[in-house]
Structure 1
Amino acid sequence: MTNRPTSAARLTLAGTAAATLAATAVLLPGTGAATAAPAQVAHQARAAATLAARLGNRAAGSYYDAASRRLVVDITDASAAPQVRATGAVPKVVHYSTPQLRTAVADLAKQARIAGTAWAIDPRQDKVVVTADPTVTGAKRTRLDAAVEALGGRAVLRHTASPFKLKIAGGDAIWGSSVRCSLGFNVTVNGAPYFLTAGHCGNASSTWSDTQDGSEVGQTVDSQFPGTDYALVQYDDSGSSPASEVDLYDGSTQQITGAADAYVGESVQRSGSTSGLHGGSVTGLDATVNYSEGSVSGLIDTSVCAEAGDSGGALFDGSSAIGLTSGGSGDCSSGGETFFQPVTAALSAEGATIP
């Protein structure tokens, strides 16, 4: 664990979240030598995603290409290219539409919901990327191979070196009766103070402390897992006003002013009570992970690492809350893949707001 803040500081944080996205200039499509802040890139990326959704079977998603510093919208009909260019994005003609790829996802949900597997649509490849961990062997592997093969070119199978696991452990950070997790974001519900963490954490404990065997600071009032993965914890002190900040694990904090949906190619960062601060990018949306404890859908797939105890910790981009750490494979020594519960979905379901 890195530079753990004091317990008093822990309760003023918006989570064990990550550092601000560096405000490096980026070239936007159609701007020539002009530059824009990451917030503008995010705005245009979401506008491109809205257009892709509106185009229906004439499109197949959108993403930010960090290498060329351009936003891309996949289209299956070249006549849609002018509409794409009008948003400032670059059109790319691909074979499979969003509805076709979503049908592939639905088929996988029926035929291959096997513990140790995951899948998400990757617009950069115009495919559903299916992942199997080392536990998928024998009859399970045969079943998965058949399901992927039946999808033809709509899907590709890859393998991860370590099993998919929920990032929960006994130890540090926010402590439950027999587990520890990481606080995500401080929120309010009808003016009262709460915080968000992972649902599998909320399932594991009804009360929480900021120190091991310490005094109770909050109670789990709602917990959703499997299916989704978020929990709402109410602070015992109804008069407290926890700050909307995140711990950067270097003695400083980052203010969080709101929540936003992720987009493929987005640079994000995460921090948790075990591994501290780490970054990466969004590689897929609406991902499904089949943990041994149950399946979760609608997740954000990323190249960010995480370790046991980081569950519930916050994923964010600058001042925007993005996700809550769910689980994944690998670690922060060898690298890994981590899935996150979208914060916007949790806020909507709970009637909560970022302070």
Structure 2
Amino acid sequence: MRNSRMYRLAAVAITLSASAALGTQTVAQAQGTDATPHYQPEMVRALAASLGVSEDAAIDRLDRQDVQQAKLAELARRGIADDGAFFDASGKLTVNAADSTEAARIEKAGLGARVPARGQAALDKVKAELDAFAARKAPSGAVAWSVDLAADKVTIKVNNDRGAAVKAFLAKAAEHGSAVRIVRGEEKLEAKAAIYPGSKMTFNDTSQWCSVGYGARDRSGNQYLVTAGHCVTNTLRYDGTAFAKGYKTRYALGTRSVDMGILTINSGHSITPSVGTWGNSNPVAVKGGSRAASGAAVCKSGATTGWTCGTIGSYNNTVTYVDRNGGPDTVITGLATSSVCVEGGDSGGAYISGNQAQGMTSGGPIDQQCSGVNSRGSSYFQPLDDALSYYGLTLNTN
């Protein structure tokens, strides 16, 4: 019972000091054998249902993603630079090229290519200007803004444009002409920390909670929990037992922040390198942390909504989170977006594409409700590779 309960509740299963043997058993299950399929059946089923395709088609999509990502990595090793890449709805990877010559070399390697009007580097500059402008005063009403590689534009999502700060922000954006598009009627966002009674990973002795993220280590072998920055607090508990202590965070309410943070793992505890699927058979083994391209299939495990799947949207998003307790708005930079559904308490939970760890839940629409694996929704997550790089850590893998 305790073993199955651990998988249902944990985004990444925690082995407590009182269960040393259980921790060993968990790792063995996650590692599998030669007969273990390349992708866990539960992930394939969830992804197939989420995308509305057969399980064979879901496996084919994951396989094609892996092959195309490997080709893109090989191009980089050969010195062929790209200006951003994304998967389209059919699962084809399209690469932005600097010119027709580079595009031809990319196509020869078996990938789609185009020469965009702007490309990622130029769009990143536009977004950086908007980030700097928003840092002076949070543009309440501007929900999020990000680089949309497929559209070759910076997209700004707006809930309302009546305030002086958001009007000034939109006027600044208009200076960039067709490089920016405005999408109106969006819901307000909030960080997805706990708001319900009961918990998975509780804050100190309160009933508020987040979800467990990924385990990592420093050069000395010290173990850390990598999570959303707003989930970092003095003490975190699993099943009533303190297992981690707040160490560093880049999140601060009311100021421009990055939603990443780490906690030290208490002696005798550990985080296994496998993502729980909330009762859907075996956990998904973590084999690495290579970032998947926009459009890639992804699933998330969280303490409130469990196992939900969708696709990755875009990277380098900036959002404005509101505070339900009446505190100031907080501008968060550096997030990725997805069509994965989340609710309060899912923050910090693990995103994984195939067997590659992607990140931790940051936030989503305030009143979003999820109804199971196949729920369609939206969410923002902190990319794991950025957090590992910033803190100088190495992901624990299976």
TM interval, short-chain normalised: 0.7 to 0.9
| 1:32 aligned residue | none
| 1:255 aligned residue | 285
Which amino acid in structure 2 is aligned with residue 24 of structure 1? I
| 1:24 aligned residue | 59
Q: Hey, what's the Cα distance between the residues in 1 that align with 2:236 and 2:249?
A: 13
Worse overlay, 305-314 or 83-92? 83-92
Q: What does the per-residue CA deviation read over 1:118-169, in whole Å, with 9 as the maximum and x for residues that have no partner?
A: 11111111111111235x5333443243233221110111135421100011
Which secondary structure state, in structure 1, belongs to the residue aligned with residue 394 of structure 2? Answer: coil
Out of 229, 240, 249, which is 2:259 matched to? 229
Q: Is the 8 A contact 2:119 2:149 kept in 1?
A: no
| 2:149 aligned residue | 123
Superposition map of 1:75-224 within 5 A: 75=97, 77-112=99-134, 113-115=138-140, 116-134=142-160, 136-170=161-195, 171=197, 172-177=199-204, 178=206, 179-189=208-218, 190-202=220-232, 205-211=233-239, 214-224=240-250
Q: Hey, what's the Cα distance between the residues in 2 that align with 1:306 and 1:220?
A: 24
Determine whether 1:40 maps to 2:106. Answer: no
Which secondary structure state, in structure 1, belongs to the residue aligned with residue 84 of structure 2? Answer: strand
Q: Is the 8 A contact 1:52 1:73 kept in 2?
A: no
Q: What does the per-residue CA deviation read over 1:269-300, in whole Å, with 9 as the maximum and x for residues that have no partner?
A: 11210111111111111111122442222211
Give the superposed CA RMSD.
Answer: 3.0
Cα distance change on mapping 1:88 and 1:81 into 2, 3 Å: same
Q: Hey, what's the Cα distance between the residues in 1 that align with 2:293 and 2:77?
A: 11
Q: Hey, what's the Cα distance between the residues in 1 that align with 2:65 and 2:171?
A: 42
Q: Hey, what's the Cα distance between the residues in 2 that align with 1:52 and 1:117?
A: 38
Which secondary structure state, in structure 1, belongs to the residue aligned with residue 114 of structure 2? Answer: strand
Q: Is the 8 A contact 2:200 2:238 kept in 1?
A: yes
- Specify every segment of 5 or more residues in structure 1 that has no aligned partner in the other structure, as ranges: 28-35
Cα distance change on mapping 1:349 and 1:50 into 2, 3 Å: same
Which secondary structure state, in structure 1, belongs to the residue aligned with residue 118 of structure 2? Answer: coil
Cα distance change on mapping 1:47 and 1:152 into 2, 3 Å: farther
Q: Is the 8 A contact 2:188 2:321 kept in 1?
A: no
Over the matched positions of the two proteins, sequence identity in percent amounts to: 28
Higher helix share: 2
Worse overlay, 287-296 or 179-188? 287-296
Out of 85, 88, 96, which is 1:65 matched to? 88
| 1:264 aligned residue | 294
Out of 370, 392, 395, which is 1:332 matched to? 370
Which secondary structure state, in structure 2, belongs to the residue aligned with residue 137 of structure 1? Answer: coil
Out of 278, 283, 290, which is 2:320 matched to? 290
Worse overlay, 93-102 or 162-171? 93-102
Worse overlay, 98-107 or 44-53? 44-53
How many pairs are equivalent? 331
Which amino acid in structure 2 is aligned with residue 344 of structure 1? D
Q: Is the 8 A contact 2:243 2:269 kept in 1?
A: no
| 1:306 aligned residue | 342
Worse overlay, 287-296 or 158-167? 287-296
Which amino acid in structure 2 is aligned with residue 208 of structure 1? L
Cα distance change on mapping 1:241 and 1:313 into 2, 3 Å: closer
Report how far residue 51 of structure 1 moved. Answer: 8.7
| TM-score, scaled relative to structure 2 | 0.74
Report how far residue 251 of structure 1 moved. Answer: 4.4
Report how far residue 194 of structure 1 moved. Answer: 2.7
- Specify every segment of 5 or more residues in structure 2 that has no aligned partner in the other structure, as ranges: 16-25, 28-39, 48-57, 323-328
Which secondary structure state, in structure 1, belongs to the residue aligned with residue 382 of structure 2? Answer: strand
| 2:311 aligned residue | 281
Q: Hey, what's the Cα distance between the residues in 1 that align with 2:150 and 2:86?
A: 7
Q: What does the per-residue CA deviation read over 1:228-249, in whole Å, with 9 as the maximum and x for residues that have no partner?
A: 212222222x244432111101
| 1:31 aligned residue | none
Q: Is the 8 A contact 1:81 1:91 kept in 2?
A: yes
Which secondary structure state, in structure 2, belongs to the residue aligned with residue 309 of structure 1? Answer: coil
| 1:321 aligned residue | 357
Q: Is the 8 A contact 1:63 1:123 kept in 2?
A: yes
Which amino acid in structure 2 is aligned with residue 64 of structure 1? F
